[in-house]
A and B are shown apart, each in its own frame.
Chain A
Amino acid sequence: MAKFMVMARDSGEYPDMSPEEIQGIIQRYMDWSERLRRDGRMLGGEKLGDGEGRVVRREAGALVVSDGPYAESKEVLGGFWIIEAADYEEAVRQVSDSPHFDFGTLEVRRVEEMGDDS
């Protein structure tokens, strides 16, 4: 088993939805993550702050801090989950029924374990 980070990106914009519709979408996310949790695949998740962030770099020996990186990207990284899967094939299968594809993309990245030499 390996850990995978599933990063959720979307436009950050939502059409005019009614409370009933919004609840329906949340329920689909909950059903999805609940299934992963039941299968022992969901390790957790976090929401990232919207429209904020700092990019820190060193230029000519001094740290330069700038706002970002949201400005350069059409899709913003809204949050992430950590899931467990045997390999990429399974990780992709686990996220394939996520409702997120109605709003944006998911990026799946394996977390390197200490001692991995692959």
Chain B
Amino acid sequence: MTGGAPPAGVGALVDHLFRHGAGRMVATLARALGPARLDLAEEVVQDAMIRALQTWPHQGVPANPRGWLFRVARNRALDHLRREGRFSGTLAPALAGDGDASGGREMDGAGDDELAMIFMCCHPALPRAGRVALTLKSVGAFSVEEIAAALLARPDAVAQRLVRVKRQIRDEAIPLELPPEREMAARLPAVLEVLYLLFNEGYGAHAGENLVRAELCGEAIRLARLLAGSPRTALPATHALLALFLLQASRLPARQDEAGDLLLLAEQDRTRWDRRLVAEGMRHLARSAAGREVTPYHVEAAIAATHAAAPDAERTDWPAVLRLYDDLLAMKPSPVVALNRAVALAMAEGPEAGIAALGALSGEAALARYHLLPAALAALHHRAGRPAEAARHYRDALALPCSEPERRFLTRQLATCEA
């Protein structure tokens, strides 16, 4: 028996150990092998995880699971290179070194490797959809199936996207490195944009609907924390984005009632907001003010902070929220931002003002199939004391595509109008 002991009594593996470990190992190995061998790095890491699946159930979890996995993956990579007749000694020390049993030393620079990997995956030369998919695959260690589920795409489409984007990395020799300081300000926005997209995809998901989608928020936060933790990438916009994520995520536990039904901001039990995330978010918001630059992330984070600071919906500083939406609309003119601004306007100045502002949006093609426009109109008419009018708009909203929890929510609201 192994060490004369029964399978080790290791109760539970650290949450997401494999997923996060895989991202780090792929980054470290791909950096040593070169970005053209990204596929090999991913393959040997996958092999190592399967090896763990075959071995650990019988022999127990090793004392240093990360080190074990990395050693196996590295040895597979070395075997592969030997078979190709390449001398491993010319490779970076991470691969060629006589890895010690802990594996800790090899992984020391893993944070840098991961950052370099993020910048490669989000290189502006790559198409946007490719950046998102590749970040999830190579940094996040999501499978093709998981990426497809998370992005509501077809698995074969995701697989093709990944093949194309990896080929482009090879063909155009896109480097796997952290951009030098003078280029950082120009390269960072593309990275932050990918994280923003990931977070919003996840935030739009609802409990019970799709587990993988909801995990996108956690992954976006993890990567934003990584960027905020490195002096080279911790620019004010990075702190603003992380602040936004944390403040938004703090509300996730309060978004549904026990039955899993959606709750409006005004209905949420604010004692269920995660105060630790709020505090962390506020700290990053303060740090985001260090430069002169104000990004949309700054403004969105400030809006989220205003909500977080209010004891309830009534006592929210709605005029401040409205001003922030005015700023946001000026920076990022979009019908969805305009819709949110109209709701803030209604809270600051009364439902009629909001209804008028929403009415101006009714011709927007981008909102023609957007259920939240009639839903917002309905809520405001209801508040203005016109339940019949409200019911008409709720029925319009229900005729448009929306998630199942949202459908239940709208149906419930409709019933209160008709009561």
Q: Residues on A close to B: CB < 8 A?
A: 8, 14, 16-23, 25-27, 29-30, 33-34, 37-38, 42-47, 50, 78-82, 100
> Do A16 and B56 contact each other (CB < 8 Å), given the known contacts A37-B6, A43-B6?
no
**A78 contacts which chain B residues (CB < 8 A)?**
54, 58
Interface residues of B (CB under 8 A from A): 1-2, 4-7, 9-13, 16-19, 21-22, 45-46, 49-50, 52-61, 141-146
Contact across chains for A47 and B18 when beta carbons are under 8 A apart: no
Q: Once the chains are docked, how many angstroms separate the CA of A18 from the CA of B211?
A: 14
Tell which of A18, A30, A43, A81 touches B10, judged by Cβ atoms closer than 8 Å. A30
**B54:A47 contact, CB within 8 angstroms:** yes
How far apart are A90's CB and chain B's nearest CB, in angstroms?
18
Please pick, from A8, A19, A46, A100, the residue contacting B1 in the complex, using a CB distance under 8 A: A46
Closest to A100 in B: B57
Q: Which of A33, A50, A78 has the most CB of B within 10 A?
A: A33
Shortest Cβ distance from A77 into chain B, in angstroms? 11
Inter-chain contacts of A50 with B (CB < 8 A) = 54
Instruction: Give B14's nearest chain A residue, CB to CB.
Output: A23
Query: How many angstroms from the CA of A42 to the CA of B57 in the assembled complex?
Result: 12
Q: Is there contact, CB below 8 Å, between B13 and A26? A: yes
CB <8 Å contact, A43 and B49: no
B56's contact among A30, A34, A38, A80, by CB below 8 Å, is which?
A: A30
* Given the contacts A16-B143, A25-B53, A45 and B59 also touching, CB distance less than 8 Å: yes
Alpha-carbon distance A21/B145, docked complex (angstroms)? 11
Q: Are the CB atoms of A22 and B16 closer together than 8 Å?
A: no
- Cα A19 to Cα B26 with chains together (Å): 12
Q: Would A45 and B1 be within 8 Å (CB), given that A16-B143, A18-B146, A19-B19 are in contact?
A: yes
Whether the pair A30, B57 counts as a contact (CB closer than 8 A) is: yes
Residues in B neighbouring A33, C-beta threshold 8 A: 6-7, 57, 60
A45 touches B54 (CB 8 A): no
- Contact across chains for B18 and A23 when beta carbons are under 8 A apart: yes
Q: How far is the CB of B140 from chain A (nearest CB, A)?
A: 10
Output the residue of B11, B22, B54, B61 with the most chain A CB within 10 A. B54
With A8-B58, A18-B145, A33-B6 known, 19 other A-B pairs at CB within 8 A are A8-B57, A14-B53, A18-B143, A19-B21, A19-B22, A20-B16, A20-B142, A23-B18, A30-B12, A30-B57, A30-B61, A34-B7, A34-B10, A34-B11, A38-B9, A44-B1, A44-B2, A47-B58, A79-B57
